[in-house]
Amino acid sequence: MRGVPGLWGPAPVTLTYQWKAVGVTILGATAATYKPVAAQAGKTLTVTVSGTKTGYTTKTKTSTATAVVAPGSLGPAPVPTITGTARAGSTLTAVPGIWGPAPVTLTYQWKANGVTILGATAATYKPVAAQAGKTLTVTVSGTKTGYTTKTKTSTATAVVAPGSLGPAPVPTITGTARAGSTLTAVPGIWGPAPVTLTYQWKANGVTILGATAATYKPVAAQAGKTLTVTVSGTKTGYTTKTKTSTATAID
């Protein structure tokens, strides 16, 4: 803003300026122009003009007060973007862009299909299985004392894909491969836990009906054949994975 002193005389007259906020002198604000700072939002400003001339008494005049100083405006605020793969269990990262005038405090809110995700207020977010098939956005809010808050929302991600189990281990078989002896499938550790595991035993690659437990006892008719066990891992919101053991020869 600019102080307009009017015409002083008899010319020439030297004019000096002093700006005040709610009647309090603003140190260093002695030019004809002044740019209010954030801390003055909500206050009124005046400018006092003093006229001096050799051989004349000094005179001062103070302007009427301005309207209260409005908050500053952040911006132009950038539209945030999201990096990473939209998949259950994978980390997404909000990239807010550069906000100013610095420093600006940024906060984040993630949403699924436009609905706020409670607690999802960090710059990163890991979609959960229940969000498979939904799209995600992140809203970034910029705040600064003496400035109005601004918010910007990213474009939506692709629909969240089911999570991926793994890396799934190859199961092994323990026990003596002989008719009447019990064999045990050792599935290894599947994750992220919990994962539901199911079993299918095969003889020479052919499914053995009903052989769906973690243990299996070969029958006499399988002598001379090889056995394998296939382990399948399932979890809601994740794609199913299967792994098959190496073959074991039956004596």
DSSP 88-111: TT--EEEE----SSSP-EEEEEEE
Whether residue 219 lies inside any domain: the answer is yes
DSSP code of residue 205: T
Whether residues 156 and 185 fall in one domain: no
pLDDT band at residue 223 under the 50/70/90 scheme:
very high
Q: Is 110 exposed, middle or buried (0-12, 13-18, 19+ CB in 10 A)?
A: buried
Contacts of 96 (CB under 8 A, 6+ apart): 78, 80, 106, 108, 123, 140
Query: What was the pLDDT predicted at 152?
Result: 98
pTM: 0.71
* Residue after which a domain boundary falls, among 111, 135, 161: 161
Q: Is 145 exposed, middle or buried (0-12, 13-18, 19+ CB in 10 A)?
A: exposed
* Residue after which a domain boundary falls, among 161, 195, 226: 161
Whether residues 64 and 135 fall in one domain: no
Whether residue 213 lies inside any domain: the answer is yes
Average pLDDT for 78-93 = 96
Q: CA-CA distance, 51 to 114, in Å (whole number)? A: 62
Residue 153 has pLDDT above 90, yes or no: yes
pLDDT band at residue 236 under the 50/70/90 scheme:
confident
Residue 244: both structure tokens together: 């098959």
Number of domains in the chain: 3
Query: What was the pLDDT predicted at 146?
Result: 87
* Residue after which a domain boundary falls, among 70, 91, 118: 70
pLDDT band at residue 122 under the 50/70/90 scheme:
very high
Residue 39 has pLDDT above 90, yes or no: no
Query: What was the pLDDT predicted at 1?
Result: 84
- Residue 56's domain comprises 14-70
